[in-house]
Structure 1
Amino acid sequence: MRIFRKPVSEKVNCRAFFRRGAYYNNHCKPVLTCNNCCMEPARGAAVSKTRLEESLARLKGSRRKLAGAILSESPETYHLSSHDLARRYGVDAATVIRTVQALGYGRFADFAADLRRHFVHTVTPYTILRQVSRDRGTAADLVRRSLKTDADTVRALAETLRADDIVDAARRIRAARRVAIIGVDLAASLAEFLAYGLAVLGIDASAPVGSSGNLLHRVHLLGRRDLLVAISFGRCLQQTVTAMLQADKAGVPTLAITDSPETPLARGARRTLLCSVESPAVTGSYAAPMAMMTAVLVACARLGLRRSLRTLDEKDRQDHAGMRWHGNDELREETDP
């Protein structure tokens, strides 16, 4: 995982590589996520064509037929090699390579990366469930696969995690006067978790909820000494992107938590933390984002150790004197003279 520091107009040069047969950028793999629950664009928002779709229109004959089949079946083809594609469609590998070149790609790896981006761009709960349904296995097999995917995703995050990047994000959170964390739909659970954890440490953090208007009004109150954290994945939700862009325009520092350097959030935020939400579940999985945000909370606690200890000590005294925990009333009766 890397943290990007860039102006809005600067392009991110992210080196891609392959691991265990799936596409990774040099942080985590942004595949098999749900565009409906977490990443659906606002109603009426136009979804731009991918480079593959634009290139496909220029082909003719058998090459267009082959490329069209690969593109339309991207949930089953995005992870295949040129030889695997050749076997799937009954052609030789050279035909696949020539078709890829006709699409304008000098290397198959570049085509494969775009095919995976196309898959992420167009994936829906239906395509995820359809792919899962084609796998032979019982419900118990799918449960084991889901748990293994989460474990692999968190392991990949740990292997690529740069502790200094997490510490840098924590320093900026600590330095901010106020921290507003924007997460819409399912991502609201992540925003609430991070805001709660920061508030426990004595940091003025909140996760605004409600209508789009309420979010924008809250963002409008932020200043240059504050920080906006935006959370969304894949195509990203329009409300989250709009809130982040409004904050950036007003000079508010922004930090995005997303799954690819090519998402709208990553392209617009001044700093970006990346983690995968890959899962065979139609909702995607927040195992890796939760692990990453937990690391941010650990860093925030350590950087402001005295303040954190003072805040938590006061909270412990209040909890002991109050009714937060079950059995506190009996304990007070036993300790009272």
Structure 2
Amino acid sequence: MTETVKETSESAPVPPTTPPPPAALAAKVRTLVPTMTRSMQRVAEAVAADPAACAALTVTGLAERTGTSEATVVRTARVLGYPGYRDLRLALAGLAAQQQSGRAPAVTADIAVDDPLHEVVAKLAHDERQTLADTADALDIQQLAAAVAALASARRIDIYGIGASALVGQDLAQKLLRIGLIAHAHSDPHLAVTNAVQLRGGDAAVAITDSGATGDVIEPLRVAFEHGATTIAMTGRPDGPVTQYADHVLTTSKARESELRPAAMSSRTSQLLVVDCLFIGVAQRTYDTAGPALSASYEALAHRRSARAPGR
């Protein structure tokens, strides 16, 4: 029997009801610039580089400053999540004020081959803090709440990820297992698809892909979607191919790749924050069962450590 495919309207991400706050603007630019046209990139890069100066410009002035058109400026504002240029200007003014107060630090330089270790530690620590802040600012709480509700009520949860994202998927699965949910992480694309075929309405599937274009992750999510499961995409590209099969989209901070720090390293920080948000949200909604399950797992681990202690 052929499974009923969900209506497209159900799969579309729920748009935010309000524009992103000023603190989220720089994060949105870093996330979305790679997907923009070159003219839109010039607008986005200009407002991120000098928000104070751009906030003082009219739409015509910003178009002239970036060598683009007024229509391009307005389109860029909308892609960044603002209804129009006026809303973007307000966000720019807010971002400029935060930067002047020191609450929105500039991004440090990439790690160099000859950096001493203390500078490596400082740069990594700054980048990790910025990644976490960017992710928190850009995370759509409505989408997060919907994903939490789907996982909390799911009969079974499948999680798909490849490479570094597979490690994140394993972390989510083991957390959910500890509060009594049935969750499995799949890093083998063949097993992922064969398991996705078994999903039905009342089940949930989570795809984790920073690029949003990993075929081995998209395919099992597609199968899960077409078999009626509630699907969730965790990705750094909210307009990536994976989202066409996602009921709910959780946007992570887009990884900045450098010679000594592959994108997989920095993207994992962002993904793990979202995993923790999902886990805490689910544990709160299911606390009557999650609480005892967590206590039982703590006791079992404590007993195992005690039994393995020297002299026992």
Could you state the TM-score of these two structures normalised by the residue count of structure 1?
A: 0.62
Is 1:257 aligned to 2:260, yes or no?
no
Q: CA deviation at 1:239?
A: 1.0
Is 1:148 aligned to 2:126, yes or no?
yes
CA separation of 1:214 and 1:282: change in aligned 2, threshold 3 A = same
State the partner residue of 1:198: 176
Is 1:189 aligned to 2:200, yes or no?
no
CA separation of 1:94 and 1:196: change in aligned 2, threshold 3 A = closer
Q: Which moved more, 1:193-202 or 1:13-22?
A: 13-22
Q: Is the 1:277–1:287 Cα contact (8 Å) retained in structure 2?
A: no
Task: Give per-residue Cα distances to partners, 1:240-266, cap 9 Å, x unaligned.
Answer: 111111211222210111123212223
CA separation of 1:264 and 1:11: change in aligned 2, threshold 3 A = farther
Q: 2:31 is matched by which residue type in structure 1?
A: P
Q: CA deviation at 1:187?
A: 0.4
1:232 maps to which of 201, 209, 214: 209
Where in structure 2 are the equivalents of 1:215-294 lying within 5 Å?
A: 215-279=192-256, 281-283=261-263, 284-294=266-276
Q: Is the 2:21–2:137 Cα contact (8 Å) retained in structure 1?
A: no
State the partner residue of 1:177: 155
Separation in 1 of the partners of 2:24 and 2:144? Answer: 26
Separation in 1 of the partners of 2:25 and 2:181? Answer: 42
Q: Is the 1:261–1:267 Cα contact (8 Å) retained in structure 2?
A: no
Task: Please identify which structure carries the higher helix content.
Answer: 2
Identity over aligned pairs, percent: 17
Q: CA deviation at 1:198?
A: 0.1
1:328 maps to which of 301, 307, 311: 307
Where in structure 2 are the equivalents of 1:3-14 lying within 5 Å?
A: 7-8=10-11
Over the aligned positions, Cα root-mean-square deviation in angstroms equals 4.4
Q: 1:186 is matched by which residue type in structure 2?
A: A
Q: CA deviation at 1:310?
A: 2.5
State the partner residue of 1:106: 71
Q: 1:106 is matched by which residue type in structure 2?
A: A
Q: How many residues are paired up?
A: 265
Q: 1:194 is matched by which residue type in structure 2?
A: L
State the partner residue of 2:280: 298
Separation in 2 of the partners of 1:189 and 1:266? Answer: 21
CA separation of 1:312 and 1:135: change in aligned 2, threshold 3 A = closer
Q: CA deviation at 1:276?
A: 0.8
Where does the alignment leave 5 or more consecutive residues of structure 2 unmatched? 1-7, 54-61, 81-108
Q: Is the 1:173–1:227 Cα contact (8 Å) retained in structure 2?
A: yes
Separation in 2 of the partners of 1:162 and 1:181? Answer: 20
Separation in 1 of the partners of 2:49 and 2:287? Answer: 49
Separation in 2 of the partners of 1:13 and 1:168? Answer: 13
1 or 2 for the larger relative contact order (CA 8 Å, sep ≥6)? 1
Q: CA deviation at 1:286?
A: 2.0
Separation in 1 of the partners of 2:293 and 2:186? Answer: 23
State the partner residue of 2:31: 30
State the partner residue of 2:191: 214
Separation in 1 of the partners of 2:286 and 2:23? Answer: 38
Separation in 2 of the partners of 1:158 and 1:186? Answer: 21
CA separation of 1:8 and 1:298: change in aligned 2, threshold 3 A = closer
Q: CA deviation at 1:197?
A: 0.1
SS of the residue 2:232 aligns to: strand
SS of the residue 2:223 aligns to: helix
Q: CA deviation at 1:213?
A: 1.9
Q: Is the 2:139–2:252 Cα contact (8 Å) retained in structure 1?
A: no
Task: Give per-residue Cα distances to partners, 1:125-171, cap 9 Å, x unaligned.
Answer: xxxxxx94789965643542232122122224444556665443222
Separation in 2 of the partners of 1:22 and 1:136? Answer: 29
